Chains A and B, each alone.
Chain A
Amino acid sequence: MNIANFLPSSAEYVRILPEIILTLVAVLIMFLEAVLKDNQKGFFPGLSIVGLVGAGAGALIAWGDPGPAFQNMLTIDGFATFFRLLVIGVGILVIFSSADYLRREGSPGGEYYALILFSIAGQSIMASANELIMIFIGLEISSIASYILAGYLRTDSRNNESALKYFLLGSFATAFLLYGVAWIYGITGSTNLSLIHQSLASASGSTALATAAAALLFVGFAFKISAVPFQTWAPDVYQGAPAPVTAFLTVGPKAAAFAILLRVFLTAFAPITAAWMPLVWGVALATMTVGNFAAILQSNVKRLLAYSSIAHAGYVLVAVTAHSGDGSAAAMFYLAAYALTNIGAFSVVAYFSRKGEQFVAVDDFAGLAQRQPGMAAMLTIFLLSLIGVPLTGGFFGKFYIFKAALDAHLVWLTVLGLLNSAAAAYYYLRLLVVMYFKEPGEAAENLPNPGAALRVAVYASAVGTLLLGIFPGWVLDFASKAALR
């Protein structure tokens, strides 16, 4: 065997261009952080955005020549490109919404941006991984950076609690995942998704062992996407972490985790669909229901949005249950719409909460519409999108998901899911009620105008949310072509 066969070709390097760019920029920021004086570091957000835009361009270049890379460890296809662009876009918006926040909290460190970039690099690897070990590596790169981000303001005790919980439970989940990988390797003799698929498809015997392994992997993923019954960490972590970080955690790592969930279950485990589908069905229903009904009881906006985020993971799981091309496309569209909506919503919360996040109770939002009508209107768009009112991206996302579910004859799941989303309207309306129907309270006094970067994050998210609601075809066509079948 010729040794040259094992060396990657230059085309394969092009296929990991986004990861290369992200890592280089992140390392550069870490380096500059050490050598520059504090007053010289103002350009870090800008540099990170340049890096992310470069990575986005890299993802498009890589897509120009799709194919496997590094001994089939990675596969660059439309699906991978969609999620790469999604997490990179998430990164850009999060950095816009973080810059003012960090300055306000007096902690404008460079490592924050480096960590975001590292985390996105990990998610980008997850999006293109075609191999269980690679998935694990991507997941770890993404997670470890996220753990640190969750506790970024280390003088804040809530941040510390959040980071510790996230780290402990996240590691626990990873252990399950690895255990599942070990089982799969034992059963099929491979960690490559295509080979696992072949092995499972040709296996004549019982699928019980493979199902158990799939269940173990699912537990690992379920932790990451905060699916019931593995959701308990999410409200505490999302409430405790800095608001822009929460925005990031609810969409970035989650989208990437869904990417690997879809890839593993729709490709490797496709032969045993009949075995895993009822499991996902039940988890989807439980996740929607628990998320929505727990959110009704919340009085803290971040916690409310945390439970809402659990419920939305449930909707996406409905699309996974449909196990079809349409379902996969619907999940992709939904995650994109949800990313824009949620970053927007958390950015407004980050702005409104003021220094040290003093004002994060639902009642603190009283009268926001009279003090800052523009920001209130934007938050209204995000909330309507979360409710699923037409002409917003959130509505089309739900529509496609439930359409895919009905195509797959999941009538009951669809009906219960839609009723769930009607019940969910109640807690989102509570925010609208206080913002618009209540007179301004103490929290709305002396509200500074939002900074320019934050405005960019909020308005861009709002425009994106509306565009996805009025012209969903742009993203959906891409998602449909790229969907896994």
Chain B
Amino acid sequence: MTILDLVLFLPLIGFLALLLVPKSNPGASRMGALIISLAIFIVSLGLLAPYWQAAPTGYTISTNVSWINYPPIRYHVGIDGLSLWLVLLTTLLTPISVLVSWKYIDHRVKEFFAFMMLLEFGMLGVFVALDLFLFFTFWEVSLVPMYFLIGIWGHERRIYAAVKFFLYTMAGSALMLAAIIYLYNKAGSFDVVDITNQMQAGRLALDPHVQMLLFLAFFIAFAIKVPLFPLHTWLPDAHVEAPTAGSVMLASVMLKMGTYGLLRFCVGLFPSAARASAPWVAGLAIVGIVYGALVALMQPNMKKLVAYSSVSHLGFVVLGIFSFTQQGLDGAVYQMLNHGVSTGALFILVGFLYERRHSLEIAAYGGVSTPAPNLAAVFLITTLASIGLPTLNNFIGEYLVLQGSAQANFTWTVFAALGVILSACYMLWLYQRTFYGKASESVSHHMFDLGAREWAAILPLLLLMVWMGTFTQTFLPSISAQNAQILRQATPNALAAGLHGTEPGSEVKR
């Protein structure tokens, strides 16, 4: 039993423990959820130990025991430079989401916090599973609590949003399951490490045609989750209807399950198919970047604006991954974390505004900075982080992605950079309309400044924005080392040569 198993199963224990709390005592559920999730976060910091002043590649902490004998399904989990930070992001945002929900959730409190714990369990599992079957299990399990979070505690159209969310993901994962089974029949194993080794050693050779189909099956499942244009339509609904904590977990962590899957499985398992489809995927990513930004610009609803900005930001991540360059991959992973921190913060702040004014319409606000100066300042920092101001976190990620994509194809960079400019437009315009101007009667009547609990929820994220924007050395070495390994594996000379042989056009262009 390693510290990793502890981090993974504590949320499940927390879930079961919260189920036992009597329904009549909502305070105990809140406090219990906070204590458990904080404890999980503190324990999860122990995962950093192997990365202290070092950047090891491969799995530094792992457990590999048999779960089911036949077909051989193993409980194989591991931490590497990629999953480490996503795990920490999850364990950090869970207690923050609990804090955010403290007052916001006032009915069926016990169930809410129990589902939060179950959600954390599912998402952590996705990031550490190294057995395809185990991965799929967690992938689906994380779906159930989110469905309930949206459906029970969401806004008016919550049921529509929850069902849409569930069905979109189910449809995607059906194909992924078929691909997983097919891969097992070929490789005789569900183990990602084992399958990768077999591919490296040339013992498992997939026909290019088959590899492309398998790649697509995985890709569609992940692209729905990211979400990549044009599969993004579930996202604005889910985000707008979800309660604040649901939006935070959805944007900050759950979308990363998609990009993580793209990097770990699509690129890791089917490198030549991934390379072959890179121009198409990058094209979709760029359309998503620009389209998401343009739609965000026109949104009258704050939450929808932030949701569409997510579509745009996640486009950068996908572009970075499919640039197949070191900087691109580093930027993509960094951007996953950045987006988790700054968009998470944005959703929290929008939630704070909603709790005061009970409206998500931008038009209902204006002049908020007068009655709530601290809230305005915090919102401004988050806005600046989100649009990529240097010394704040998003700048590093976006820069690396653009640099990486420029190495792959300069045209991509030109169009993607449009997204950076547009993000400044929609975010600053949002800020202007919400916080500047003269406060109307209803705004000044309802608005008050941040309380201690709200500070506690938002401050860690503010610190991280600055930290990630200035001390990149804390994060990047371990990410880079792992990405370098992924890139090496994704460039088997023989495979790449064979591929470019069939597609001379792509070679000439470079």
Contact = CB atoms under 8 A, between A and B. Distances in A.
Interface of A: 370, 373, 384, 387, 389-391, 395, 399, 402-403, 406-407, 411, 414-415, 418-419, 421-423, 425-426, 429, 432-433, 436-437, 471-473, 476-477, 480
Nearest to B163: A429
B326 to A, nearest CB: 35
B315 interface: no
Contacts of B71: 403
A178 to B, nearest CB: 40
Interface of B: 23, 68-71, 108, 111, 136-138, 140-141, 143-144, 147-148, 151-152, 158-159, 162-163, 166-167, 170-171, 173-175, 177-178, 181-182, 184-185
A433 B171 contact: no
10 contacts: A389-B141, A406-B181, A406-B185, A418-B175, A418-B177, A422-B167, A422-B174, A423-B171, A437-B159, A437-B162
- The A interface is mostly helix, strand or loop, or mixed, namely helix
A429 B166 contact: yes
- Give the interface SS of chain B, mostly helix, strand, loop or mixed: helix
B151 A433 contact: yes
Contacts of A399: 177, 181
Contacts of A423: 171
B455 to A, nearest CB: 33
Contact of A415 (B68, B138, B159, B178): B178
Residue picked from A384, A419, A425, A480, most chain B C-beta under 10 Å:
A425
Contacts, number: 83
B181 A402 contact: yes
Contacts of A477: 69-70
A421 B174 contact: yes
Contacts of B138: 390
A395 B138 CA distance: 13
A436 B148 contact: yes
Given A391-B137, A399-B181, A402-B177, 9 more contacts: A387-B170, A389-B143, A402-B181, A415-B175, A422-B174, A433-B162, A436-B151, A472-B68, A473-B70
Contacts of B143: 389
A426 B163 contact: yes
B144 to A, nearest CB: 6
A426 B177 contact: no
Contact of B136 (A373, A390, A414, A419): A390
A476 B70 contact: yes
Closest 5 CB pairs of A and B: A390-B137, A418-B174, A422-B174, A422-B170, A437-B151
Contacts of B175: 415, 418-419
Contacts of A387: 170
A273 to B, nearest CB: 20
Contacts of B141: 389-391
A399 B182 CA distance: 12
Contacts of A422: 167, 170-171, 173-174
A295 B23 CA distance: 35
A419 B174 contact: yes
A425 B178 contact: no
Contact of A419 (B144, B171, B182): B171
A403 B68 contact: no
Nearest to A414: B178
A403 B181 contact: yes
Contact of B185 (A407, A419, A421, A472): A407
A373 B177 CA distance: 32
Nearest to A405: B181
A426 B173 CA distance: 15
B140 A390 contact: yes
A433 B159 contact: yes
Contacts of B181: 399, 402-403, 406, 414
Given A436-B148, A437-B162, A389 B140 contact: yes
B68 A389 contact: no
B166 A418 contact: no
Contacts of A403: 71, 181, 184-185
Contacts of A471: 68
Contacts of A473: 68-70
B184 A436 contact: no
B178 A418 contact: yes
Contacts of B184: 403
A471 B73 CA distance: 11
Contacts of A418: 174-175, 177-178
